[in-house]
Amino acid sequence: MDKKIIVITGASGTGKTTISQYLKEKYNIPPVLTHTTRAPRAGEADGVDYHFETDETFFKNHYLEQVEYSGFHYGSSEESLEQTWKMVNVASIVVDTAGAISYKKKYGDTAIVIFLEVDIDTVAQRMHGRGDDPKRLSKRINSDEFKRDLKIPDELKGKSYEIVNKDIEMTEKKVDKVVNNLKFK
């Protein structure tokens, strides 16, 4: 089977991490580790949760997408994807829509994009339910990036699987179809 990267995208609170975990648990499809310059949180380990970098080492990688958030750099690198592909044929990555566009441009049909969508009220409920600070939540759902990620970008229309994630069991069934389609390519 050819190498594939399942790119999971959508706005905050749409279930991207949940779907990434589902792919790992049900299909043994691991997430590609991303890089960050923030310090590890309690219980996090380098090479397990992230590639923890310094400001100096971070910029030695070749990033498909990167952002600066709260003074720290985050990004997904070609190196980390290649390292994952040495172990498995199919991996997943969670990125914003700008990152998904970068993956699709760079990897073409090798990048299988899943765009998760839910309405703003459901997103706000989920983010509040996972303990997001109400002030940060309000700031986040009013940000340009969040608004951009609510709708599928033109660059991904017709080139990705669009899944409305209101019911996790229905979403998992749709993701199962995506994975089963991979096995025949």
pLDDT tens for 120-178 read 677 667 666 666 677 776 776 777 777 788 789 999 999 999 999 888 999 999 999 99
Do 163 and 175 contact (CB within 8 A), yes or no?
yes
Taking only the tens place, the pLDDT of each residue in 28-37 is 999 999 999 9
Query: Which residues make beta-bridge pairs with 51?
Result: 35
Helix (H, G, I), strand (E, B) or coil at 115: strand
Beta 111-117 vs 4-9: how paired, if at all? parallel
Looking at residue 3, the DSSP 8-state letter turns out to be -
Residues in the chain: 185
Give the distance between the most distant pair of CA atoms in the chain.
47
CB 98: neighbour CB atoms within 10 A? 15
Return d(Cα 12, Cα 127) in angstroms, integer: 8
Taking only the tens place, the pLDDT of each residue in 78-126 is 999 999 999 999 999 999 898 999 999 999 999 999 999 887 677 667 6
Where does CATH 3.30.63.10 sit in the chain?
32-87
Please give the pLDDT value at position 129. 67
Q: What phi, psi does 35 have (nearest 5°)?
A: -110, 150
Return d(Cα 60, Cα 24) in angstroms, integer: 28
The pair of three-digit structure tokens given for residue 76, joined into one six-digit string: 């997904």
List the beta strands (DSSP E) in the chain. 4-9, 35-36, 51-52, 63-69, 72-77, 90-94, 111-117, 160-164
- Name the pLDDT band for 73 (thresholds 50, 70, 90): very high
CB 140: neighbour CB atoms within 10 A? 18
* CA distances to 17, 24, 116, 157 from 94, in Å: 7, 13, 11, 18
Architecture category of domain 1-30+89-185 in CATH:
3-Layer(aba) Sandwich (3.40)
**CATH number given to 32-87:** 3.30.63.10
Return d(Cα 173, Cα 157) in angstroms, integer: 21
